[in-house]
Structure 1
Amino acid sequence: MRGVISPKLTAFLDQANQALAEAKESGISFSAERVRGSLKNLTTFLDEGPEIAHIEDKYLGDQRIPVRIYNPSPNETLPVLLHFHGGGHMCGDVEVYDPISRKLAIAARAIVICVDYRLAPEHPFPAGIDDCQYALEHYKKLLSGQKINEQLFIAGDSAGGAICTSLVMNNIDNDAVKIDKQVLIYPSVDYTMSLPSVEENGHGYLLERDKVVWYFQQYFQVSDLNDDIVKKASPLLGYFSSNMPESLVIVGGCDPLKDEGIAYAKALESAGVRVKCHQFPGMVHAFMLIENLVKEECEKTYQLISEFTQG
């Protein structure tokens, strides 16, 4: 069933849909440059985020993966949270997501490391996953002199949620990696786009179905999302185990990806994993990036993250 949009977003969506219609009439097609610009434009609805005691930019490993570290309380011994930003595997970076990383550090009471992984189409699958896997295995090298405990959290929205769940799927039998908890915000976990909400919410609610298809085609360098590589990469279609991390899953009722997020939470629960799934009925995909329009929902999201990580 198609979601019912919050009145808070009606004017914003009217404007977005008008711009989309005009672009289509003008024959403007998707491009990496254009979608990256569109994501950055959404940050006009974000404030700068809270002050953080210690922020530092570094590079990790011989690959020189850029990261930004946020330590909200350097005198305390804190857990670590690896933050993987969203953007369809094609957009986003530590600058765009800086306000969210700051708020995650405060909410989780953790040292946040935001990973600036490589993006498609210049670096298609699995380049970004490889960067994040390396960060997962070697993040402690970034934190010399900082006080950390042994707890490790991962968090991501949209494609960042895809990265979190892919890392969990890929490391089920890796004794060298222990993820304690994962936070998934409107995660992308089914690259085949096979569940009903993709069609039901796939038009008029900011994230358009045809754009998602295009994102995935660029990421996997395929034309058909039924390709075996796409199926094997989909965390929802992978193996579930009781030793997957405790999870918080947050979805929007007007998001094309709503059903797959809920299905992932149910699959975790069926495997014996502790999971909490929270739905915001009137919210679109990427609502965390338009915080000034939906402050109450974003504040609630950070509250849920705080209760989950510190509980």
Structure 2
Amino acid sequence: MLNAQLKAWLDRLNELVAEQKAAGVEATPATVRDSMAAMTRNQVRPGPELPWVGDARVECGETPVPVRLYDPAPDRDTPVCLFFHGGGHMAGSVAVYDPICRRLADASSWLVVSVDYRLAPEYPYPFGLEDCHSVARHLWPVLDAQGRRYQRRLALAGDSGGGTFAATLSALAQNDQRLPVEKQVLIYPSLDYTLNHPSVTENGKGYLLEAERIAWYFQHYFQHGEDRRGASPLFMPVSNRLPETLVISAEYCPLRDEALAYVQRLNDTGVPCRHRHFDDMIHAYLNLESLAPDACAATYREIAAFLNGD
């Protein structure tokens, strides 16, 4: 059953959405970005305070990629978690996800690096993915330049569209000795750009992330007739070289079934995979922490336990 607080909030939201549609209001990239930022700001409190947080730029080609570093233990050599934010490849930013990354670093005691990749439609496929890939390949000199103490142990993490990037890089890393990925964390990830799973229809209206909006995101991301199936992590080759994986899914999420299918593929291949399913949650609940505090706390504990081998 859907969480009661989320249901009450969704009821109000859906009324507002219906009023806007009736008035002919159409979404734009700017309004979507503003909406996600406002939702997160209103529902996720700032903090926690960390010993060291700093911004940097990864020089990896003509366009440097901004990143923000969250070091929970500057006096220790800590493993590194590269984080890719969600937002349908169109919204979200390092600033929007600052409280979420702080919580991740605080809970896990890993050094978290949040990537401010370029967004569609200004920068369609594959610009954002290439930014994330470049940061992963050129990360260590940046940490050195920032005076961070770290272990050369790398995990990839992301929620929603950021989970797409994490899973894609993990797939690429299977055959790239220069990109050793130890673990990946996929939080209600988008793994199938073809949108052919039943949950897209089942949960595609009334649960915040709607099927119509997902299709709109993808239309802005794929602007030149690219092979969407080929770009989908769910259909990329899977071998025992894929990193140990944690998948977090939500019952009322339209992306639920592709997450479950990915877990099944990894299990069938023998890739170590942990799966945590929240049967009363919706997509993007980490951005709605005040409405789902227990689920959010449990999620950060689950990620920390996975990263630390507990």
TM-score (norm 2): 0.96
Partner of 1:107: 107
Please, which of 150, 153, 156 is the counterpart of residue 154 of structure 1? 156
2: distance between equivalents of 1:136 and 1:302?
Answer: 23
Report the identity percentage.
Answer: 42
Of 12, 15, 25, the match for 1:15: 12
**Deviates most, 103-112 or 86-95:** 103-112
Give the distance between the partners of 1:153 and 1:169, measured in 2 at CA. Answer: 13
Aligned equivalents of 2:117, 2:72: Cα separation in 1: 23
| Structure 2: gaps of 5 or more residues | none
Structure 2 SS opposite 1:229 = coil
Q: What secondary structure is seen at the aligned counterpart in 2 of 1:288? A: helix
CA–CA distance in 1 between the matches of 2:142 and 2:106? 20
Corresponding letter in the other structure for 1:192: T
Of stretches 60-69 and 125-134 in structure 1, the one that deviates more from structure 2 is: 60-69
Letter in 2 for 1:41: A
2:235 alignment partner in structure 1 = 237
Matching of residue 262 in structure 1 with residue 264 in structure 2: no
Check the 8 A contact 2:173/2:181 in 1, yes or no: no
Distance in 2 between the 1:54 and 1:304 partners?
24
Which residue of structure 2 aligns with residue 142 of structure 1? 142
1:185-219 per-position Cα deviation (integer Å, ceiling 9, x unaligned): 00000000010000000001111110000000100
1:290 matched to 2:288? yes
Q: State the distance in 1 between where 2:291 and 2:73 align.
A: 30
Equivalent position amino acid for 1:77 in 2? D
SS in 1 for 2:280: coil
Residues 29 and 121 of structure 2 are in contact (CA less than 8 Å); yes or no, is this contact kept in structure 1? Answer: yes
- What corresponds to 1:275 in structure 2? 273
Aligned to 1:131: 131
- Aligned equivalent of 2:48, options 47, 50, 54: 50
Write the distance in 1 (CA, Å) between the matches of 2:92 and 2:49.
22
Residue segments in structure 1 that go unaligned for 5+ positions in a row: none
Question: Secondary structure at 1:296's aligned position in 2?
Answer: helix
Aligned length: 304
- AA aligned opposite 1:32: P
Match of 2:31 in 1: 34
When structure 1 is superposed on structure 2, of 115-124 and 17-26 the one drifting more is 17-26
In the alignment, the residues of structure 2 paired with residue 215 and residue 34 of structure 1 have an alpha-carbon distance, to the nearest angstrom, of: 13
Q: Does 2:248 align with 1:250? A: yes
- String of CA shifts for 1:69-116, please: whole Å, max 9, x gaps: 110110011001101000000001111000011111112211111000
Instruction: Report the CA distance between 1:308 and its aligned residue.
Output: 0.3
Deviations along 1:252-311, whole A, 9 cap, x unmatched?
Answer: 100000011111111111111100111101111000000011000000000101110011
CA contact (8 A) 2:173 2:242 kept: no
CA distance in 2 between counterparts of 1:228 and 1:126 reads: 10
Distance 2:213 2:293 in 1: 26
**Letter of the structure 2 residue corresponding to residue 112 of structure 1:** V
Q: Following superposition, which runs of at least 4 residues in structure 1 exceed 6 angstroms of deviation?
A: none
Aligned to 1:219: 221
Deviation at 1:171, TM superposition (A): 2.5
1:172 alignment partner, one of 171, 174, 198: 174
Preserved CA contact (<8 Å) 2:201 2:211: yes
Aligned partners of 2:14 and 2:276: how far apart in 1? 27
TM-score of the aligned structures, taking structure 1 as reference length:
0.96
Cα drift, residue 49 of structure 1: 2.1
Deviates more, 1:116-125 or 1:105-114: 105-114
How far is the alpha carbon of 1:178 from its aligned partner? 0.5
Name the counterpart of 1:87: 87
State how far apart, in whole Å, the 2-side matches of 1:237 and 1:146 are. Answer: 37
Assess if the C-alpha contact under 8 Å between 2:238 and 2:269 holds in 1: yes
Write the letter of the residue equivalent to 1:14: D
Question: What RMSD in Å do the two structures reach over aligned CA positions?
Answer: 1.0
The secondary structure found in structure 1 opposite 2:163 is helix
